[in-house]
Amino acid sequence: MRNNYKIWLGAVLAIFFWGSNFNAISALSPELTPITAAAIRFSIAVLALLILRLLSKHPESILSNKDKGYLLLLSIIGVFIQNSALFLAMRYTSAVNGSVIMANMPLAGLLLSALLLRTRITFYHIVGICISLFGVLLVITDGNWHQIYLRKGDLLVVLALAGGCLYTILAKKWVPHVPVPQFVRWTLGLGLIQMLLTACWLESPVDAYQNMTLKDLVLLSYMGILGTLVAYFLWMKATQTIGPQKVTSMFNLIPMFTLLISMSMGTQPHLIQLTGITCITVGVIFANAYPSLKRIFISFKPQYTIKHRSLK
C-alpha cells in the first residue's frame, strides 16, 4: 500500500510538470518555430536517457520485431503527434485553456480502457467525469453555453489529447512487459527522429536555433528534463502499476497547476476559470476518493440498538 502511495505521488508530479509545460511553451520566443522547439526539448531528454543507459550496467530485455513495431506506433501517436500539435496550439490559444481541454483525458481514457482493455467503469467514475467535464465546458465556452465551438488552437489541443490518451492505453495493451526506462527511451528517441525530419522539411531549424535566447534554452531544458524525461517515467510507472483507467483521472489536475503557475507570474484568473477548475478538482476527488470516504463514513456512523421491553 505504501508503494502505491509513492506511485500516486509520482503521477501527481508528472501532471504538475506537464501542466507547467503549457506555461513554458507560451513563454517561448515567437521566432522559435513549434516543431523545432519540440525537437530541441526531446533532444535534451533523449540525450539524458542515453547517458543514463551508458552508466547503467543492468541488461535490458530483448525486444522482438513486434515490440519494436508497437513502440514505433506509440512514438508516432504519443510523442510526435501529441507534442507537435501542443507546441503549435500554444500559438493560437492560452495556456489555461489548453490545459483545461487536456483535462478531458480521463473521459477518453475511461472509454478507451473499457473498449480496448475491457476494464470496468464504476458509477463513481462516471459521476466524477461528468462533474469535471462540466468544468471543462464552462471554461471553454466562458459561460456562454450557446457558443460551444473550438478555435484552431483548441482543435490542436484536442488532437494532442487524443494522442496522449491512446499512448497511455495502448502502451498498457501492447507492451506492458517492456521495462519503463527502456520503453521511455525507445518511444522518445523514435519520436525525436520524426520531429527532426519534419522540422527540416517544414521549418528552418538552423535559423530557429540561431535565434534562440538564453530564456528559451532554460525553458526547453526544464521541459526536456522534468517536463519530459521525469514526467514520462513517473507516468508510465503509474500506468503499468495502477492501471490507465485510474491514473488518467489525474489529468483533471493539469488546469489547476497551470493556473497556479500563471497566477504566480502575474496573470489574474477569471471567475469562470476558477469555477471550472473547482468543478474539475471535485470531479477528481469524487471519482477516486469517494468510495474510500464512503467506507470511512460508514465505519464511523453510530450504531443504534433498540431495546424492547419484555411483556409481563
How confident is the model over 56-78, as pLDDT tens digits? 878 888 999 999 999 999 999 99
Provide the residue type at 50 as one letter: L
Residue whose C-alpha is closest to residue 153's, from 198, 76, 78, 87: 87
Residue 185 is placed in which grid cell? 527511451
* Mean per-residue pLDDT, 106-131: 77
pLDDT value for 143: 72
Say how far apart CA 117 and CA 246 lie, in whole Å: 13
Q: Give tens-digit pLDDT for 256-306.
A: 788 888 888 877 777 887 888 788 778 877 776 655 656 655 555 555 444
pLDDT value for 60: 85
pLDDT value for 195: 96
pLDDT band for position 92 (cuts 50, 70, 90): confident
Say how far apart CA 119 and CA 275 lie, in whole Å: 31
* Mean per-residue pLDDT, 215-233: 92
Q: Give tens-digit pLDDT for 24-52.
A: 999 999 889 999 999 999 999 999 999 99
Q: What is the DSSP string of 197-239?
A: HHHHHHS-HHHHHHT--HHHHHHHHHHHIIIIIIHHHHHHHHH
Look up the pTM and report it: 0.80
Cell 507534442 -> residue: 83
Give me the half-sphere count of Cα atoms (radius 13 Å) on the Cβ side of residue 17.
22
Local structure of 94: helix, strand or coil: coil
Say how far apart CA 155 and CA 53 lie, in whole Å: 37
